[in-house]
Structure 1
Amino acid sequence: MDHDDALLTLVLAGGPLAPRRALLAATGSAAAAVAAGSAAWKAHGCTPPQCAALGRPDPARQARARQWLAAPDRHLLPLHAPATPPVLRTLPEAPLALFAAGDPVLTWQPAVAVVGSRSPTPTGRALAARFSAHFARAGLAVVSGLAAGIDAAAHAATLDAGGTTVAVIGTGPDQAYPAGHRTLQARIAHQGVVLSEYPPGTPARPGQFPARNRLVAGLALATVVIEAAHRSGALITARLAAEAGREVCAVPGSVLNPRSQGCHRLIREGAALVEGPDEVLALLAPVLAHHLPALRKQLAAPTEQAAPATLPAGWADNPHYQCLWRALDHDPTGMDSLIARCGLTAPEVSSMLLAMELAGIVVSVHGRYCRRP
């Protein structure tokens, strides 16, 4: 059995993650884990149904998963694959692998999670769109769970702004939940990436959505909550983000709005009170500096014989990007000089430079920046 088939067998075995993760760690590869036999499976804590599934894989489920993976831009990403973002590997309950529809490299882009109520007020929906579009223009990806309400507004606004959005869903990658989001999910798969730890054919089940939230929180450097009741999935995501050492931000609302009670509770418990997206960017500036070296290594590519760098059309009408582009030279320039030339804040310049690096038009040389040669 080759590695891909073995990994698929491990994933389709289902059940608790811990025994399969222990088995994989002990044997060193998916193929060795599946070949280890029932005694080894039991010794590492696999349940009887898991042992049965490892010994006799369901041919129908295997065929359905392979058929889904055979289509263009479909992937099964092992946890330690180069295309899998390292932020996920630090999660206590990291999945064995992820099914991905779209470009998995986009999951490396520094991201902010935007989550909230499934039935937001018009103001809440507008705030989600405003924050998400701003993050997109700053070069950050926006992660959410493709649920109704705030999630959908965040995804759609990011796409409309020409940004990258990552949807983590609680069903199989071939399912849409709610069903009305099928078009949006297809759009995200085309322009961003849709992730699921559940194999194709897996329907919506209640317990899968809280589990999905740990991946939303884990993929993002910060989680922003916009409208959430006292008991909501958004608060679960915020708690998981805090436990994973990520920033948690909450947007306050009216004391008369029951959908703001969860945000106010988060603020009382220590979440950052944010009134605008720039405040989130300011909080993230030190975190981004820490993650940039690994990101640059992942995105590095030869530039010889490349076309001359030009400002993309989406930024050509943005005066801030125009100013920063004019301030950049073919010789590396320090951040302080760029800030002085543009009259912008450090978080603004940092996020814009990151976006330009991701677009391939700016390179960093020992902490100084220049246009790509």
Structure 2
Amino acid sequence: MNHYELAAWLRLLLTPGIGRGTARKLLTAFGLPATVLEQSPAVLAELLSPAQVHALSTEPHDLTSQLDVTWAWLNADPHMRRVLCLGDPLFPQRLLDIEDPPLLLYAVGRPEAWDDNLLNTGTCLAVVGSRNPTPQGAANARQFASALAGAGLTIVSGMALGVDGAAHEGALEGAASDGLATIAVVGTGLDRVYPRQHRDLAHRIAQRGVILSEFALGTGPLAPNFPQRNRIISGLSQGTLVVEAALKSGSLITARLAVEQGRDVFAIPGSIHATQSRGCHALIKEGAKLVESAQDVLDELVLEMTQPANIPIGHQTVREQGSESALLQALGFDACSLDALQARTGLPTPSLLAELMTLELEGMVARLPGGLYQRLVQA
């Protein structure tokens, strides 16, 4: 995209009162933004309100500054940075199938993404879930993403804390060196990283995958932007896997958008007592596919794995049958208090704490807020 084309796109998108729907209507009628801007007020009045016609005839006050910032950002690293518009061969074609595609995407990623048009090759799977997952939920997200990336899928998520971050990490661990390991769709401008804790993760994603945003450079973490970007996460993907989610969760928004877009929805079940499992259970009741392994996802996507999936199955024990400790058997897979464990095992407090600490150090038990303990499933 050259400077003139970028200026026209930014002017169209920055014009007050011209939303994505109106902009698409204008692009359908006249073609490129530069052609839209060449139309007379009388011609535009056939499609727009008088206020919109007036706004479109006036240059947005922040156009020059936004154009300068964006052009400088692009040229600071031309091998990795792109601005992709509708009609660009590199624009993700799957997004053209959704009701409300973004008109412009800012992108940063490995040079092969642009040289080999990797956003339009292969199969993507969205992996989403709670920002505050249980230890098992975070482990599931990482292990499923690793196995699915190893099977050739590109993992898409939102780079938020919790399940999103774990999914990106797993994808980076499991993916082959070629192709895109993972795609992060963020709710800020690409000149900043949110949350800050994911600065290193964002760098690694850009080196082996792609980070996308429809928001202009300089856009901060505004609350309405995160649900808005979810349609891109689901739209890029052939299916959406929900790992953990409460009943009121942004992950459920993504899942329902996936249904509306004609995509598959998968959900990992959990304890009936866990708040973080209720969203997944609700999705399963509504028809989402219950999954216990990566192969469950791949079977539904009609794909064959290139290598075995090394991830847990929901009922798998952490030790071989017969070698499992009595404490692990008593703990089960629900979060449990120290008092409840004492009642189940009859162990004195010092012995119980000592064994719990040993299991925690071995990675078999996690300590949760509120004095609770949870058994972890190991791959």
Q: Same fold (TM over 0.5)?
A: yes
Q: Per the alignment, do residues 177 and 46 of structure 1 end up closer, same or farther by CA in structure 2, a change over 3 Å counting?
A: farther
Distance 1:8 1:85 in 2: 20
Q: Give CA deviations for 1:178-206 in whole Å, capped at 9, x if unaligned.
A: 12212211221121100001111111111
Q: Which of the two has higher C-alpha Rg?
A: 2
Which residue is equivalent to 1:19? 22
For structure 2, which runs of at least 5 residues remain unmatched after alignment? 310-379
State the AA in 2 paired with 1:275: E
Distance 2:308 2:261 in 1: 37
Aligned with residue 84 of structure 1, among 79, 91, 110: 91
Distance 1:254 1:135 in 2: 24
Matched, 1:189 2:189: no
Q: Tell me, yes or no, if the aligned pair for 1:213 and 1:237 is still in contact at 8 Å.
A: yes
What is the TM-score when the length of structure 1 is the normalising length?
Answer: 0.73
Which residue is equivalent to 1:329? none
Distance 1:133 1:37 in 2: 54
Which residue is equivalent to 2:274? 257
Query: SS of the residue aligned with 1:142?
Result: strand
Distance 2:299 2:50 in 1: 47
Q: Per the alignment, do residues 271 and 45 of structure 1 end up closer, same or farther by CA in structure 2, a change over 3 Å counting?
A: farther
Which residue is equivalent to 1:292? none
Shift of 1:41: 4.7
Distance 1:115 1:47 in 2: 43
Matched, 1:113 2:126: yes
Which residue is equivalent to 1:75? 82
Q: Tell me, yes or no, if the aligned pair for 1:38 and 1:55 is still in contact at 8 Å.
A: no
Q: Per the alignment, do residues 146 and 45 of structure 1 end up closer, same or farther by CA in structure 2, a change over 3 Å counting?
A: farther
Distance 1:50 1:237 in 2: 35
Percent identity over the alignment? 42
Query: SS of the residue aligned with 2:302?
Result: helix
The count of corresponding residues between Structure 1 and Structure 2 is 291
Q: Per the alignment, do residues 319 and 250 of structure 1 end up closer, same or farther by CA in structure 2, a change over 3 Å counting?
A: closer
What is the TM-score when the length of structure 2 is the normalising length?
Answer: 0.72
Q: Tell me, yes or no, if the aligned pair for 1:110 and 1:221 is still in contact at 8 Å.
A: yes
Q: Per the alignment, do residues 44 and 156 of structure 1 end up closer, same or farther by CA in structure 2, a change over 3 Å counting?
A: farther
Q: Per the alignment, do residues 207 and 53 of structure 1 end up closer, same or farther by CA in structure 2, a change over 3 Å counting?
A: farther
Query: SS of the residue aligned with 1:33?
Result: helix
Aligned with residue 173 of structure 2, among 136, 160, 164: 160
Q: Per the alignment, do residues 197 and 277 of structure 1 end up closer, same or farther by CA in structure 2, a change over 3 Å counting?
A: same
Which residue is equivalent to 1:228? 245
Shift of 1:8: 2.8
State the AA in 1 paired with 2:104: A
Q: Tell me, yes or no, if the aligned pair for 1:20 and 1:46 is still in contact at 8 Å.
A: no
Distance 1:6 1:251 in 2: 45
Shift of 1:43: 4.1
Shift of 1:46: 6.8
Shift of 1:160: 1.9
Q: Tell me, yes or no, if the aligned pair for 2:11 and 2:59 is still in contact at 8 Å.
A: no
State the AA in 1 paired with 2:88: A
State the AA in 1 paired with 2:159: L
State the AA in 2 paired with 1:4: L
Query: SS of the residue aligned with 1:61?
Result: helix
Which residue is equivalent to 2:263? 246
